[in-house]
A and B are shown apart, each in its own frame.
Chain A
């Protein structure tokens, strides 16, 4: 249209009336006259391009220096001289504004020479300001660029599949990385990844394409073939979305996927570990239950056995006495008295053992009783008082240096037993060369109370570790005792979460240290 109007225009002389046609047109129209390109006519649209400037009657170079700078003046010269029209498409012109700023404008225009009497006398300009178009397109291009960058750099695996065959149109690097070494772009989905055929993934993809509705999956197991041909189980969270064209019809599918294989594997490993731990815990609980029942059975057995053994042994004792009465007076050299004495000794030992066994089983039954905070000194004093006869007989001294600790967590009865046992041992296993001296000391050690019984008695050769604290173990045979005392002491302490230790030097004495929980 520009060309045809311009053509009809050139054939006639430029008269003011003719210009009226262009006054209101949205196209910018101007007419130059002469080699200096003097503005002979300017329509409103053109004038608006250069607000605040007087154009009519002025030369281009004077009123539009930017046109000269940016090459437009040269173009006009060319057209004026050669008569060859010039068509410019979207050429830039930076127009200086009244406030000094510069507007970047774009024009699609023609320069056409016109003649009078066969001679070129000027150039007409027919221009459209296409700045908006160009800017718009540039903005769109920039947007596209940004989008593409986003797409490529996204932390998700993204691909676009096109058409009913779901051809890979675009694949971002992360998506490609999942299928390292396998060509995707330009190939149909089922051809590029044949292992997906007949899977849920392919089925839902098709459904999305056909229905336009998105589909989401979490932790979908997708077996994929690695570069080396090995099939791996991999897990993905993904969404398949329909892509629509301008008409709103579905023409492709977008896939956004996150690989979660590591998380799923870790979670499964953790679940497996938890299950194993739970199974072990159940086993331990079962075993504990068994052990507890066994212990109860044992304790019941000990109690019952010792109980049932009392009657016959008591009978034996009685019979022994009767026998002594019935036998005639012993002749000199007779071994009968010695034999009767040995029988009585044996019966006594038997009885003592039964008593200790009974005590032991009672101890186990009492084990369930809760311990409380008991005052230390009074109980030790009681134990010492219980031993008064032995203390007097041996000339012993027992010092209680226990004020550093006021209370311990233990049953009063058991604490008295422990003290009685250890003090008694110290006196029983005294060195005949010197009067026994026992020093009891209490101190705090971390979260425990340490109670030390130090004596100056015979001492023990601990290098012969034969289980000092075992049942029926005796290191010295000349002292009355069935060897169960220390065993009981140890059991009592360990039942309450404590322990007992011994240090000793033969000929100098022993130190037994018991530990209680505070």
Chain B
């Protein structure tokens, strides 16, 4: 499987981001790992990539739910309102610590491709890549 150009990690906890980056680096599945500490930073990264040649648009986003400023749900809401060309070919995977029934309900109508329980492990990353980035 070819390497992805860029993966975006969105989580307010620096340690989580560090660990997740470590997993991705060890698997060697992407050329670039971007980090955002909340939904707002993530949006900025998505919308300004066009002007910045060193930053490729993330093909995969691992999104946390509980974040200050703009949480996971708010990010998805804003993401849905982006112009089509900024949204296409972006796979969003939500990372969660809880599986509250109410949360699951909300998730059904969201533009996410998968829901994964933390922590992010190499096995889980492989599973996602196989499911959404394999050649047909």
Residues of A within 8 A of B (CB): 338-339, 342, 345-346, 464, 466, 474-477
**A-side contacts of B74, CB under 8 Å:** 464
The yes or no answer to B119 lying at the interface (CB within 8 A) is no
Minimum CB–CB distance from B22 to chain A (whole Å) comes to: 9
Interface of chain A: mostly helix, strand, loop or mixed: loop
**A-side contacts of B68, CB under 8 Å:** 474-477
Partner of A342, one of B12, B14, B37: B14
- Which chain A residue lies CB-closest to B37? A477
Decide: B71 and A342 in contact? CB cutoff 8 A: no
15 of the cross-chain contacts (CB-CB < 8 Å) are: A338-B18, A339-B18, A342-B14, A342-B15, A342-B18, A345-B15, A346-B15, A464-B74, A466-B71, A474-B68, A475-B68, A476-B68, A477-B12, A477-B37, A477-B68
Minimum CB–CB distance from A353 to chain B (whole Å) comes to: 13
How many B residues face the partner with a CB closer than 8 A? 8
Minimum CB–CB distance from B46 to chain A (whole Å) comes to: 20
Contact indicator per residue, chain B 56-71, by CB within 8 Å of chain A (1) or not (0): 0000000000001001
Minimum CB–CB distance from B92 to chain A (whole Å) comes to: 21
- Which chain A residue lies CB-closest to B74? A464
**B-side contacts of A475, CB under 8 Å:** 68
A198 to B105, CA, bound (A): 68
A464 to B14, CA, bound (A): 24
**B-side contacts of A345, CB under 8 Å:** 15
Q: Which of B1-54 contact A (CB under 8 A)?
A: 12, 14-15, 18, 37
A477 to B69, CA, bound (A): 9
**A-side contacts of B12, CB under 8 Å:** 477
A398 to B40, CA, bound (A): 35
A464 to B39, CA, bound (A): 14
- Which chain B residue lies CB-closest to A342? B15
A464 to B74, CA, bound (A): 10
Q: A342-B15, A346-B15, A477-B68 are in contact. List 12 more A-B contacts (CB 8 A).
A: A338-B18, A339-B18, A342-B14, A342-B18, A345-B15, A464-B74, A466-B71, A474-B68, A475-B68, A476-B68, A477-B12, A477-B37
**B-side contacts of A477, CB under 8 Å:** 12, 37, 68
Minimum CB–CB distance from B129 to chain A (whole Å) comes to: 25
**A-side contacts of B71, CB under 8 Å:** 466
Minimum CB–CB distance from B37 to chain A (whole Å) comes to: 8
Minimum CB–CB distance from A335 to chain B (whole Å) comes to: 9
- Which chain B residue lies CB-closest to A343? B15
Minimum CB–CB distance from A305 to chain B (whole Å) comes to: 16
A474 to B14, CA, bound (A): 16
**B-side contacts of A342, CB under 8 Å:** 14-15, 18
A477 to B68, CA, bound (A): 7
**B-side contacts of A338, CB under 8 Å:** 18
A383 to B114, CA, bound (A): 49
A362 to B15, CA, bound (A): 31
A464 to B68, CA, bound (A): 10
